[in-house]
């Protein structure tokens, strides 16, 4: 967070009750983390795990990714990862099409 220039004072953090499965435990504990970066207005809500500490960690990581993507655009780590995955998928698709077109059809002779 320090590398992006995000300070703890710029974050508004609140804890709310999670939804979904879990029954009484979920209804009683506030493990969902709601994080807002005040200067940019970006918001993140995280309820991946059952523990509040892990959710705080995941929320901060997600907020950092969002802010980095906003600041650096195409140069962000997430954008690079997505671009690499698209390139790999395109390469696989191209290879499969070439394979399909280069195979010669099987010629069968029928006896009558």
The predicted-structure confidence for 58-91, as pLDDT tens digits, reads as follows 999 999 888 888 887 777 777 788 889 999 999 9
> Does this model's pTM top 0.75?
no
- CA dihedral of 74, 80, 84, 89, whole degrees rounded to 10: -60
Answer whether 34's CB lies under 8 Å from 45's CB.
Answer: yes
Backbone φ and ψ for 37, nearest 5 degrees, come out as: -90, 110
Residue of higher predicted confidence among 69 and 54: 54
Residue scoring higher pLDDT (34 or 80): 34
Is residue 49 over pLDDT 90? no
Q: Could you give the maximum distance between any two Cα atoms of the chain, in Å?
A: 87
CA-CA distance, 73 to 50, in Å (whole number)? 33
User: What would the two tokens of residue 47 be?
Assistant: 């309820």
């Amino acid at each position: 967070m320090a590398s992006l220039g995000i300070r703890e004072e710029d974050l508004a953090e609140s804890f709310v009750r999670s939804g979904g499965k879990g029954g009484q435990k979920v209804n009683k504990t506030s493990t969902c983390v709601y994080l807002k970066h005040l200067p940019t207005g970006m918001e993140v809500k995280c309820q991946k795990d059952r523990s509040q500490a892990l959710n705080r960690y995941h929320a901060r990581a997600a907020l950092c990714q969002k802010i980095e993507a906003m600041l650096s655009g195409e140069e962000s780590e997430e954008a690079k990862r997505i671009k690499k995955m698209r390139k790999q998928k395109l390469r696989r698709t191209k290879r499969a099409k070439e394979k399909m077109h280069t195979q010669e059809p099987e010629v069968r002779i029928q006896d009558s």
